[in-house]
Chains A and B, each alone.
Chain A
Amino acid sequence: MNEQQRIRRERLRWHSRRALLELDLVMRRFWQSQPELLDDLQAEQLECLLAMEDHDLWELLSGRQEPADPALQGMVALLRQPTGF
């Protein structure tokens, strides 16, 4: 990982700190399970999702809504899981 990628990753990690515990839990699970897998495209998708308002993001990750942009479907699926906390 070069410095650019490291910074991008770190920023994403920080932006995974949310106002809602629900999202913190989902994002922690993500970072624990996908440590090195993030490629540039996935990073971009994650950036889009993390730029959302907390409640809207939670609607998406809890399955109440589907992403408006179908390109985000893959990342949303990765973040979603039914139970297991």
Chain B
Amino acid sequence: MITVRKFDAVIVGAGGAGLRAAIQLSEAGLKTAVLSKVFPTRSHTVAAQGGVAASLGNSEEDHWHWHMYDTVKGSDWLGDQDAIEFMCRKANEVVIELEHYGMPFDRLDNGRIYQRPFGGHMSNFGEKPVRRSCAAADRTGHAMLHAMYQRNIKANTQFFVEWLALDLIRDAEGDVLGVTAMEMETGDLYAFHAKATIFATGGAGRIYYSSTNAFINTGDGAGMAARAGIPLEDMEFWQFHPTGVAGAGVLITEGVRGEGGILRNSQGERFMERYAPNAKDLASRDVVSRAMVTEINEGRGCGPNKDFVLLDITHLPPETIMKRLPGIHEIALQFAGVDALREPIPVVPTCHYQMGGIPTNFKGQVVVPGKRSQNEIVPGFYAAGECACASVHGANRLGTNSLLDLLVFGKSAGESAVDEMKQSPKPHKELPTDAFDRTLERLNRLNTQKDGASVHETQLAMQRSMQKHAGVFRFADLLKQGVQKILEVQKDVERTEIKDKSQVFNTARVEALELDNLIEVAVATMVSAEARKESRGAHVRDDAPDTPERPDGRDDVNWLKHSLWFKDENRLEYKSVNLRPLTVDTIALKKRAY
């Protein structure tokens, strides 16, 4: 039995993107439901510490156009320049708005928002690092969620907490009419029937074995979209954060290098001086990650297995560390067993951020290739935040641009949905008769599975395959084998079995359903990565040599295009990158050097 509930809009996800979108809808007077599998302020956005980028220019001169340049360059020219211009121009507005919602930003003595430098953010079109990141101590994401949650409460947003969205509802014309969901407390099934459905489900970093992401990041939105025939864009691009604590994955924020932390190899050398003479330790993440892996591969790693490098802050005044980077000391102590004031911290590049996702335009509308254009709008469907691909991060995201992304595109997805409903008011479209079939089939399969595969083991097999076959450096033969491997794992996912079949609050069932989503993202990643025969941003292939025509292995003649993976037959299509900004000149292709 499925109970149907009607709303103007249903938002899946109560992290930064979902909450920002909800403000827009509820404040416009629309009846808005927000579903979240955890309490909103326990969404993964809470983990963000480094800050949110905006060219406020509070500490030194800055300009959105410089920010745009950095973002295009950071993306290795795979980002769409219309969306990037839109985001960088909107940055000040959304950050100030957030300040008005009550966000307690760090301040300068003159009362303005304090800004710190962050990797890849430069002044004057790439000249030297600029202070662009706005933070609230080391609790930026947390403070942001609180401010926006309160704002939503005032605006009467209806929250459905500990509800798991299961599948997208589309009709024969392809319009999106809502989602099916399970209330965890009872195990009961519902359909949220809505005129606008917004996905803000966050990333899927748990497809990798070693990840900075919390366990909740299981790519549910991407999985639901893929099962409903929506392609996933640029899934081969995963950012590896240079400084995950070796072994545990826990992130050491880039702010540490912003405040003066230095990476060293086994000889104590500050090796980033060789790889990025200008930006050094503050170069873009993929550049730093690659440099680290090169040091390790060439035998200059540290420790008994020479498999990590060191992040050194021992030269910084302890007061600076305790004041500006308060959590770092404990993380190093707990997860690496070192006192960071006296000893350097062992770090390795660790999976951190999903650049690809559900394809959207800069208005947050989901777009797919169709008969008329490569970007036809899917009526009623929007996406924002890490689950979406606008695409502003292209092949590599700059730190602090993600919190900005979720503010800007959360807002614009909300705005687009409001505009659509206000400008052409229509009643709810009728639900198709097969609206619940996919969900019921999945649940029925899981409930009746005999002699099946263990959820835990299958998830581990997936994570290990991804780590081995699609890591920081990629190799043609490993990728090929990886595709076979991940397709085998997929077969096991299709026959997972849970021992506990109880209806009420069954976490084993939830984990099995999450794995259904993770595997879609994993397959999309492996298949897209195997197919892309160049190196670009975070996708670095050993067999794409650095030549004058193809600097760093980037092949603009053949590969300056977005990948679109379709679940149906693991099909890949490609669409062109939008190199035309909204108002300024194209930021012309060139080699990406820091």
Q: Restricting to B461-513, which residues have a CB under 8 Å from any CB of A?
A: 502, 504-507, 510
> Which residues of A have CB within 8 Å of B42?
17-19, 54
Give every chain A residue within 8 A of B215 (Cβ-Cβ): 17, 21, 24, 28
Does residue B41 face the partner (Cβ distance < 8 Å to A)? yes
Cα distance, A14 to B333, chains bound together (Å): 27
Chain B interface residue number, banded = 35 or more
B136 to chain A, nearest CB (A): 11
Docked CA distance A19–B47 (Å): 6
Q: How far is the CA of A82 from the CA of B339 in the complex (A)?
A: 12
With A55-B142, A83-B337 already in contact, the answer to whether A17 and B46 are too (CB < 8 A) is: no
Note all chain B residues with C-beta closer than 8 A to A11: 505
Q: Is B162 positioned at the interface, with any CB of A under 8 Å from its CB? A: yes
B47 in contact with A21 (CB, 8 Å): yes
- Name the residue on A nearest B142 (C-beta): A55
- Whether B337 contacts A64 by the Cβ 8 Å rule is no
- B212 A85 Cβ-Cβ under 8 A: no
Interface of B is mostly: loop
Interface-facing stretch out of B242-250, B386-394, B402-410 = B242-250
Judging by beta carbons under 8 Å apart, are A21 and B507 in contact? no
- Residue B45 at the A interface, CB < 8 A? yes
Q: What are 9 A-B residue pairs whose CB atoms fall within 8 Å in the complex?
A: A18-B42, A19-B41, A20-B46, A21-B212, A21-B248, A21-B250, A25-B250, A53-B41, A85-B247
Contacts of B502 in A (CB 8 A): 3, 6
**A contact face: mostly helix, strand, loop, or mixed:** helix
Asked if B139 lies at the interface with its beta carbon under 8 angstroms from chain A, I say: yes
Q: Is the CB of B250 within 8 A of A53?
A: no
Instruction: Say yes or no: B38 contacts A54, CB within 8 Å.
Output: no
Point out residues on B near A: beta carbons under 8 Å.
Answer: 38, 41-47, 139, 142, 162, 184, 211-216, 247-251, 327, 330-331, 333-337, 502, 504-507, 510
For A3, A11, A22, A23, the residue with the greatest tally of chain B CB atoms inside 10 Å of its CB is A22
- The reply to whether A64 and B330 form a contact with Cβ atoms under 8 Å apart is yes
CA distance A19 to B334 in the complex (A): 18
Whether B46 contacts A55 by the Cβ 8 Å rule is: yes
- Indicate if A63 sits at the interface (CB-CB under 8 A): yes
Q: Which of B47, B211, B248, B505 sits near A85, CB closer than 8 Å?
A: B248
A10 on the B face (CB < 8 A): yes
Instruction: Name the one of B44, B45, B162, B251 contacting A14, with C-beta atoms under 8 angstroms.
Output: B162
Shortest CB distance B454–A (Å): 15
